[in-house]
């Protein structure tokens, strides 16, 4: 089955973010989305460590250790940027002020539960960061992930087996095979890439997926 690359997926997510949106891109793969936001539109990026109006990474000669993102990588502050302390930053999340966040996932359930912070494996060191606040706080919670694990299991599941990050919080899942909306009836295939079909996706996930035209 056709899959799209991580950059293509980031570009696809970027195309769904409207001008004027306040957006948090978490850490890791979702931060790629920033590379594809249209330059002629004003979309304001929030980073949990106290910055609205985050810009791209600086060149090597202009790295500023005081100016970093949630992944602790060097970033820049765009004209119009604002700094604030941590309680305000998480108030922006919890208080429902962010329009969109994009998070990675280990599993997403058909009722929108998200598991993305711990596999629960013995001996693993747990770390949650801001994931639980983002998951329940943003108006729209987008997940960016491969559909399948490295060993071929579906990350879309009837119910999560990994420890939860948030309950019923995911709006939409962007995968390398297709885009899925979470609805009260379950996963709806919003868009299938390449030669993927609702039927082939049902086989891959083992789930009773709903075709968009049937929803």
Partner 1 sequence: MIDKTVADVATAVADIPDGATVMIGGFGRAGQPVELIDALIAQGATDLTIVNNNAGNGDVGLAALLAEKRVRKIVCSFPRQSDSWVFDELYRAGEIELELVPQGNLAERIRAAGAGIGAFFTPTGVGTQLAEGKETREIDGRTYILEYPIKADFALVSALKADRWGNLVYRETARNFGPIMASAATTTVVQVDGVVPLGSLDPETIVTPGIFVDRVVAVGERRWLRDGEFIGGVDLEGNAK
List contacts with partner 1 (CB under 8 A): 47-51, 62-68, 72, 77, 83-87, 89-91, 93-94, 113, 118, 123, 125-133, 136-137, 163-167
- Residue 13's alpha-carbon distances to 44, 160, 192, in angstroms, are 15, 24, 14
Catalytic residues: 48
Minimum CB distance to partner 1, residue 179 (Å): 26
C-alpha distance from residue 26 to each of 69, 77, 103 (Å): 9, 17, 6
The minimum distance between CB 99 and partner 1, in angstroms, equals 18
Which of 32/70 has CB closer to partner 1? 70
């Amino acid at each position: 089955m056709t899959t799209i690359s991580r950059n293509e997926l980031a570009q696809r997510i970027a195309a769904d973010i409207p001008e004027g949106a306040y957006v948090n891109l978490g850490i890791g793969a979702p931060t790629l989305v920033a590379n594809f936001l249209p330059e002629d539109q004003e979309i304001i990026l929030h980073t949990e460590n106290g910055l609205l109006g985050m810009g791209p990474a600086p060149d090597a000669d202009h790295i500023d250790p005081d100016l970093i993102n949630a992944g602790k990588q060097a970033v820049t502050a765009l004209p119009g940027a604002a700094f604030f302390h941590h309680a305000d930053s998480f108030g922006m999340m919890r208080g429902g002020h962010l329009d969109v966040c994009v998070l990675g996932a280990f599993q997403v359930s058909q009722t929108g539960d998200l598991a993305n912070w711990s596999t629960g494996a013995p001996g693993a060191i747990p770390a949650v960061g801001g994931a639980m606040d983002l998951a329940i706080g943003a108006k729209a919670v987008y997940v960016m992930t491969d559909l399948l694990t490295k060993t071929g299991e579906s990350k879309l599941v009837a119910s999560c087996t990994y420890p939860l990050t948030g309950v019923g919080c995911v709006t939409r899942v962007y995968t390398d095979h297709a885009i899925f909306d979470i609805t009260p009836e379950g996963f709806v295939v919003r868009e299938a890439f390449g030669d993927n079909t609702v039927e082939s996706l049902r086989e891959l996930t083992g789930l009773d997926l709903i075709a968009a035209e049937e929803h």
